[in-house]
Amino acid sequence: MKFVILTGENIKTLIVFFLSLALGFVVSRLPLPGLGEAGRITLGIFTTAALLWVLEPFPLYVTSFVIVILEVIFLAREGGPLGLSGNQYTIFLNPFFDSVVVLFLGGFVMARAVKRYGLDERISRGIMRRVGVKPSIVLLGMMVTTAFLSLWISNTATTALMVAVAIPIIKRFPDGEPFRHALILGIPFASNIGGIGTPIGTPPNAIAMGILNQMHRDINFIDWMIRGIPVVVILTALCWIMLCRIFPPRIHRIEMELDEEEPMDRKSKFILVVFSLVVLLWLTSPYHGIPAAVVALIPLVVFFGLRLLGGDDLNDLGWGILFIIGGGMSLGIAMRESGLSQWIVGLIPFAGMNKIAILFIFAVAAAVMTTFISNSATANLLLPIVVGVTAVSAETSAVVVALAASAAMILPISTPPNAIAYGSGLIDVRTMMKGGSVITLISIVVIVLFIYLLF
């Protein structure tokens, strides 16, 4: 069989890849005052990573491996600028099995079991059966269901499920009814917002936790939820109000036909019990002392051990996302060890600036970046820098940036949930921008004020 590597697409990939490497090399040779050799090399790696994450010549996780290769060859070699020797280069590999990566893996396994046995569908239909006939309440029901599911399941999977539930409902509205836009936009927006609530909700949360853990500024599962859940509740409510105002319903009643609820089988009940137990153990981690990452291994052992999940499920877990988190944390180590983070922070005139102003700058930067590139890439590039700013605590900066990285509501390319909703053909880019820009602005204000005032 003839295997052709140099297809048109791959040639484009190679050109972008080598140009990114070349630009990174040029940046690493610039005589930047105050930045040592290790810092300059890391700046070159950072530049290459940023270009690859923005231009996406290949899947985002490939960039994570490029980062590690460059770090080990140029920074961690014997006699290299970081002064590492022997197998000390593994500091750049360790993040790929860091405790937050294991935590996320456990979350993926639980989500997989929930989806495989249709529990997510059961929950969504269960809630939608009880929301009545008033259009605005139907929208609220959809958004609450979406936000709740995306606390535990990926934002993309939640959106795909809920759009499938919503389409038959939306089609019952007459053509030209503005509220159709609210219904289809409410799902990706609630999904992006819901991901904020738990450490396993979306990758930026895990990246923030990982970087803080590396700095020995531990933030545990319950700590995250104390910050995240109120933001989810406030933003979901505000988003619902805004969508109802921007796209007001003209009709007052919508009939929904949802299938009758079937009794739950034993396997589904068992999965629900394990799921609840794991969440309980996560929330009570400070009391029983079992680290959240170790608790995350329980669903792996139980679901795969009892063959409730099989080899296909293992292959299809979100390994790529785990590698993106690992790559970001590996880049964070290089930026800290080489002094690059401090050097970049030193360039920005933070002295004398109000704390809240600094947090607004971070949140706006994250929201702007995440509008055009993935939220994980945004977190990977911004978090190592913001945690170095001494005017604000590292925890506060990291949480604000991680949460704001989910405020990606403006364009279809901003997040996979937006792209899925856009793909329904029920909204155009202008409509998404109209609703999304308002929600993004509200998100930035709520995130900064809530985290600043209460933590």
Give residue 344's identity as a one-letter amino acid code: I
CA 436 to centroid of chain Cα atoms: 18
Please name the amino acid found at residue 112: R
Shortest separation between residue 6's beta carbon and another protein, angstroms: 10
Q: Provide the token pair at 167.
A: 């389409």
Residue 259 is which amino acid? D
Q: Which is nearer to another protein, 63 or 338 (CB)?
A: 63
Q: At closest approach, how far in Å is the CB of 441 from another protein?
A: 19
Q: Is 1 in the site for another protein (CB under 8 A)?
A: yes
Structure tokens at 400: 């604000």
Contact with another protein (CB under 8 A) among 235, 308, 442, 444: 308
Q: Contact with another protein (CB under 8 A): which of 78, 218, 261, 265? A: 265
Whose Cβ is closer to another protein: residue 172's or residue 253's? 172
Residue 32 makes CB contacts below 8 A (sequence gap 6+) with 39, 40, 43, 343
Site residues for another protein, window 386-415 (CB under 8 A)?
408, 411-415
- Binding mask 104-143 vs another protein (x if CB under 8 A, - otherwise)? ----x---x--xxxx-x-----------------------
Closest separation in Å from C-beta 424 to another protein: 7
- Tally: H helices and E strands in the chain: 23, 0
Q: Does 305 bind another protein (CB under 8 A)?
A: no
Q: Which of residues 26-65 bind another protein (CB under 8 A)?
A: 56, 59-60
H-run or E-run covering 237: helix 221-246
Q: Does 344 bind another protein (CB under 8 A)?
A: no
Among 29, 245, 267, 269, binds another protein (CB under 8 A): 267
Our CA angle for 226, 231, 235, nearest 5°, is 160
Is residue 444 a contact point for another protein (CB under 8 A)?
Answer: no
Q: Give me 211's structure tokens.
A: 């970087």
Q: How many residues bind another protein (CB under 8 A)?
A: 55
**Cα(91)–Cα(163) distance, integer angstroms:** 42
205-264 positions binding another protein, by CB under 8 A: none
Measured from the CB atom, the residue of 122 and 217 that comes closer to another protein is: 122
CB of 90 to another protein, least distance (A): 26
Q: How far is the CB of 182 from another protein (least distance, A)?
A: 20
**Half-sphere exposure (CA, 13 Å, Cβ side) for 355?**
14
**Do the beta carbons of residue 412 and residue 418 sit within 8 Å?**
yes
Segment interacting with another protein (CB under 8 A) among 26-34, 72-80, 88-96, 163-171: 163-171
Closest approach of another protein to the CB of residue 412, in Å: 5
- Cα separation, 220 vs 199, in Å, equals 9
Q: Does 199 bind another protein (CB under 8 A)?
A: no
Q: If binding is defined by CB under 8 A, does position 318 make contact with another protein? A: yes
Nearest approach in angstroms of CB 329 to another protein is 15
Smallest gap from Cβ 305 to another protein, in A, equals: 15
Rounded alpha-carbon distances, angstroms, from residue 293 to 103, 115, 141, 205, 300: 4, 22, 32, 14, 12
Kindly report the number of other CB atoms within 10 A of residue 307's CB atom: 7
Q: Does 164 bind another protein (CB under 8 A)?
A: yes
- Does position 67 interact with another protein (CB under 8 A)? The reply is no
Using CA atoms in the order 373, 157, 204, 326, what is the torsion angle rounded to 10 degrees? -90
Q: How many CA atoms does the CB half-sphere of 224 hold within 13 Å?
A: 33
Could you give the maximum distance between any two Cα atoms of the chain, in Å?
A: 73
Our finding on whether 16 is near another protein (CB under 8 A) is no
State the nearest-atom distance from the C-beta of 100 to another protein, in Å: 16
Closest distance of CB 449 from another protein, Å: 27
User: CA 224 to CA 241: how far, in whole Å?
Assistant: 26
DSSP string, 270-331: HHHHHHHHHHHHHHTHHHH---HHHHTHHHIIIIIHTTSS-HHHHHTS-HHHHHHHHHHHHH
- Compute the least distance from the CB of residue 187 to another protein, in Å: 11
Other Cβ atoms less than 10 A from the Cβ of 169: the count is 20
- Is residue 419 a contact residue for another protein (CB under 8 A)? yes
The residues of the shown chain that bind another protein, judged by CB under 8 A, are 1-4, 7, 9, 56, 59-60, 108, 112, 115-118, 120, 154, 156-157, 159-161, 163-164, 167, 203, 265, 267-268, 308, 312, 316-321, 324, 374-376, 408, 411-416, 418-420, 422-425
